[in-house]
Each structure stands twice: as structure tokens, then as C-alpha cells.
Structure 1
């Protein structure tokens, strides 16, 4: 491959992280550089010992269905791939021998049936849950792959591996954003993530109007009128500062807001230190501002713990009991779980809520419970 084709191939793989057309063009150049008919990515799942074609350029659906449904189990590459290291190549003519290839059902029925003659594959990525292989297939009538064929495009494998990783992260990020938006919009109360300097990081639809009410300018001070004529019993600035204080973070704070028309709402401020998954992208202390308006359907405490902190039902039950002043041994007995299980759950609760002690956890749940009602 000349320098221009190499450059175009690498650019296509990295641009393909976000652009499907560019990704396909990168695979096509690798296919053409190896005189192949097909270029594909094949996933192997160790738990069920199955190969599955995930991507193939110029996809022949009949070929993909035949391989995924039946012939993956007869692929002789299985025997060799389990011993490969990342970056190693499987070359059928080298591992099997041409005479043996012609006698195998995989070649007689599948390969020759789709006018293919030879296979080589590289282990691109190996994880505990999956292995990703880059497969190339020669057209019928062409000589089988040799070691020189693998050597000729071996330079591309590190780029393919890195692009695959970034592509997967981009896909996961898009899925997480979509899921997060769905979860946030499902909440019946206002939710705003705020940095220590008052900058709004995100909010849901219910919280949008409260961004203007509570955070216009530098926030609402105690007793002062906000943008929409609302006032609060405590200074939001002070509550945010306490929630974002890295030295002495207050687990939870609550106050009451109202306007001259008799409307009212409870406002809760919860700390989100840098380790929290919602604060992590900004890598600095932040806070969640939760607003429950009077007259709106009150969220259950258990639902809030799940939505805001990701506590499981079992962890929520344990946290609620501990907040009532019950010790861990009695709580584990009431819940009919082992003491070690309870200790493990409590550690997860501390990690997810960033409290670190039962006293701080109790303070958090007491403040939440005072505004939203028991779960």
C-alpha cells in the first residue's frame, strides 16, 4: 500500500468512530489491500462459545445468516483462535493445509457455496466477555492466504483496535445520554445539576423554569425576590457552597420557596462530588437541586433514591431501616439477609450516596424524607 492509501485508511477508521460511511471505507481499503472478497468483524462470546458476524462490508445477509445460524459451530478456526494472542493471525492454509480444507464441510458446503476459498483472521481485541476478530475471505479461484498477506496489512491492526474501542465508547455514550434523558424526563419533580459557581450543568423539563427562578444571575439569596417573584427561607448560594465544599460537605439541605400568589415548593440541595457519575464529566464538585412543587404528586423516597443515586430496592430497604435508628445486625435480621450481605450493601449505599457513615446517611434521608414523604 502506498502512503496515500495508508493515510486514507487510517483516517477512515478514526473518522468512522462517528461516521458509518467513513468506517466502511476504511474496511474496504483493507479488503482491497489484501485482495479479499469480504472484510468483516466477528465477535466471539466465551460464555456460550459462539461466533457471530457483527459487521461485514457489502453485506450478504444470506451468508451472514448461514454463518451465524449454523456454520460458526463448524468453523475450524475455533480450535486455533483460543490459543491466539491479541494481534496474532489465523491463516487457514497454514493451520489446516489445503488438502484438509477441501475435505471439511465448512469449506465444501459454506465457503464454496458462497464462492469463497480461504480465510484469515486477526484477534483485534480480547476481553473477558468478548473477543473481536477481523476476518478476511478470498474469492473462489484465487490462491489461499499466506503469511505475507497478513504482514502486508498488519500495520492497520493497532489503528483498527483503537478505533474500535473509541467507536464502542461513542456508542455507549450516545446510549447513556439517551437513557439519561428518558430517566430525567420521567421524574415528576424538577432536577438541576449545578456547579459550585452556579453554572447549570443539566436539568430536566420540570426543572427548566426553576433554573430561571433560582439561578438567575448569582442565585436567590435569603428573603430576596428572584426572577419570577419567588423567595426562599435560606440562601441558595450558601446551600450550594456547603454542598460543594470539598473539606466539609453537607450531605443534604432543604428549604422552602414561595411566591406572592401562594405557590410554594420544597427545595433540596444534595452534594455531587467529583467521584459521582453525574459530576464526573466536569471533574469538580457539583450539586443536585431537587424541587418538589406543592400540589404535585409527591415522589416516594425509595423512587428518589433509585433515580438520583441508583440504589437498588434491597439497598433502599436497608438504608430506610438504618435511618430509623436501627443497627446493622437488627436491620439484617429484619430483612432476612446475612450480616456480610448487609455490610456489602451498606458499603454500596455509602459509595453511591457519597455519605461514608450512617450519621451522614441518616441526615441525607431525613432531609429527603421531610420534603417528599416516606418511601
Structure 2
């Protein structure tokens, strides 16, 4: 039995990062306990909602019906809620055969799926969120026994720990997803590099900027300056930010190209977040800005954010950079009247009544 428990525990730990292994681990638990089906539920008892549902039953409609109609009237839940983390409930010890024969949950939900007796395990409590795993036997099977309970109690310590690790990994993945989505949406160019200038992250704005300038580029996965002296200076700034020469410190560098002048700001980004391991090296955050546009805003980004046409976006950026409508007309090779029409359209689309308001709107989009 010890080897069986160890094999199941190993599969559950594999399931911390692998949905299929988690499913297989719970299925292995059910098989060891003589159960035909399992149901892993995450419930916010304060909100009264099922946050996650994973079941071996291959009937999405039945699972949806349970979550929407039966979960919050399930008489097994009040019993399970009184359990402590890592404890077991056998339903036949709480409900008589007569009760089961008249219960909506047992008659209208479990019976149509060929299920009856339940063993319930509370595997995690985190504030108002509680996680349970229910193992159900087929209707023609006997109820769970004391031997089954003892086996479940042997499985529970690893099940509880694996559930906690899985929950933490999922929360971290969600936070990372939100963070990356926010960085991807920024109009500013943002990169994360290690001490050797290897790029770990590059948001879409930075990708567009690197593709449109010759002074700074991505070469074989690393950030590279065309000018050798500029490259050496960038390497020094990044090394300082990564703490190679003492505590991490920031640096600013101007980079001149044939078509545009860039400003690079290098900031320390130490690996001190919740998921960081001791062996992880600190990194540097590199912000690349074009002083000719506020906050490094691109024309395309302004178009998307404010709903402007390309010409209107270019005009708005020039005005925010201190240029005039006449200068825009000259640069674009259009008449002053056409430029004024672009300005009026841009102000209408952004609900600005004065040119100064439009300039202020563009400046409000610059990086803090």
C-alpha cells in the first residue's frame, strides 16, 4: 500500500504544473478507493459560486447543471464545510437511505449519472475559498468503509500539499498573464535583459521600435547597439543595474542614429518576486524612448488608443512635441487647410474643444 500511495503522490505533484497529470492523479486516487468518478470543486462560500470544477464525468451539460443548480443546495456541502483541511467525510454516516431516496441531489443529479455514495475530502482552505475532492461510487456498489477512510487519510497529506502548490502556481500564472498583458498594451518600449544583454522580454512597442531604427537592434536574442562605444556604455549600465558593481543602480544613455535619436533608461529589476529562486540572477529593465514623441508613443499606438487616422495621429504627436500645424503641413506636404481639417477631426474624435486639450491628452499618455 505504501508504494501505491507514493506512486499516486508522485502523479499529483506532477500535476502541480500539468493539468493532465493532475487529472490522472485524482483518477488514480479514485481507483485506489474503489470509486467510479471524482469531482474536484473550488467554491467561494462567501460569494456562493463555484470557481473551478474538474470531474471525470464526461458530460459537460450535467456538470454545468450541477454547478448552476445543485452545488449550493447540496446537503453534502454543509457537512464538508465543517471538516478541517485534510479531513474525510463519508456521506452514509450523515444521511440515511431514506433521505437519499428523497433528495434532489441524489435522485435528480447523481442517480441519472449512475452514482450514489460519496467520500468527501477537504483539501484546501484559503479565506472564503475552499477546495474539495469528492469520490463517487456507482449506484450498484456498497458505501465506503473505514478501510477506505484510512487509505484516504494516507493520501491526504500529499494531496493537500499538492493542491496548495497547484493553486499557488495557477495564481502566479494568472498574475504573470495580467502583467504581460499590461506590458504588451503599453505604448512605451519596454525590454527586460540579463547582465549579458540577453533579452528575456520585449513588448510589441519595443519590437516595432527595434525594427524601425538602425542604432539599436536585436541580434541573436540579445540587445545590441550599432556603435561599439554605445554598446560598451549600455553593457556598463546594465551591469550596474544588475548589481555587478555593488547595489543595483539606474543609468541613462542617449543613442543617436541616422534617422532618430533615442534615450535608453536602464533600471534594476532584481529577482525578488514570489516565484523567484535563490539561484535566479537579477535583471535590468530597459525603457527606450524617442524624444521626438511624448513618452515614446508611436503613431500606430495613438491610432489604436484614440481612434485616429494615421495622419491625425501623426499631427497629434507633432503638436504634443511642440510643433505647429503649419510645420505639420510642411512636413507632410499638404496644405494648411488640409492640416486644419486633420486637427478638427482629431479634436472631434477625442472630445477635445481646444488644441491645448489635445496636447494635454497626448502628454497624459506618456510614461509616468
Smaller-chain TM-score bracket? 0.5 to 0.7
Residue 260 of structure 2 is matched in structure 1 by: 263
TM-score by length of 1: 0.64
Q: Is the 8 A contact 1:233 1:257 kept in 2?
A: no
Residue 335 of structure 2 is matched in structure 1 by: none
User: Residues 336-356 of structure 1, C-alpha deviation per residue, up to 9 Å, x if partnerless?
Assistant: xxxxxxxxxxxxxxxxxxxxx
User: Residues 11-70 of structure 1, C-alpha deviation per residue, up to 9 Å, x if partnerless?
Assistant: 332233333333332222222222222111012212123457600013222431232122
User: Secondary structure at the residue paired with 1:154?
Assistant: helix
User: Residues 67-88 of structure 1, C-alpha deviation per residue, up to 9 Å, x if partnerless?
Assistant: 2122223222233223211111
The alpha-carbon distance between structure 1 residues 212 and 54, as it changes in their structure 2 partners (threshold 3 A), is: farther
Alignment pair present for 1:287 and 2:284: yes
The alpha-carbon distance between structure 1 residues 87 and 198, as it changes in their structure 2 partners (threshold 3 A), is: same
Whole-angstrom distance in 2 between the partners of 1:53 and 1:202: 31
How many residues of Structure 1 are paired with residues of Structure 2 in the alignment? 296
1:288, distance to aligned residue in structure 2 (A): 1.7
CA root-mean-square deviation: 4.0
TM-score by length of 2: 0.65
Alignment pair present for 1:91 and 2:90: yes
The alpha-carbon distance between structure 1 residues 94 and 212, as it changes in their structure 2 partners (threshold 3 A), is: farther
Residue 36 of structure 1 is matched in structure 2 by: 35
Q: Is the 8 A contact 2:83 2:122 kept in 1?
A: yes
Residue 121 of structure 1 is matched in structure 2 by: 120
The alpha-carbon distance between structure 1 residues 279 and 61, as it changes in their structure 2 partners (threshold 3 A), is: closer
The alpha-carbon distance between structure 1 residues 151 and 244, as it changes in their structure 2 partners (threshold 3 A), is: same
Q: Is the 8 A contact 1:17 1:167 kept in 2?
A: yes
Pairs within 5 Å for 1:200-279: 200-207=199-206, 209=210, 213=216, 227-229=225-227, 232=230, 235-240=233-238, 242-244=240-242, 250=249, 252-259=250-257, 261-275=258-272
The alpha-carbon distance between structure 1 residues 276 and 214, as it changes in their structure 2 partners (threshold 3 A), is: farther
Q: Is the 8 A contact 1:189 1:207 kept in 2?
A: yes
Whole-angstrom distance in 2 between the partners of 1:166 and 1:50: 22
Whole-angstrom distance in 2 between the partners of 1:168 and 1:154: 21
User: Secondary structure at the residue paired with 1:136?
Assistant: strand
Q: Is the 8 A contact 2:191 2:202 kept in 1?
A: yes
Q: Which runs of 5+ in 1 are unaligned?
A: 221-225, 301-369
Whole-angstrom distance in 2 between the partners of 1:59 and 1:92: 23
Residue 26 of structure 2 is matched in structure 1 by: 27
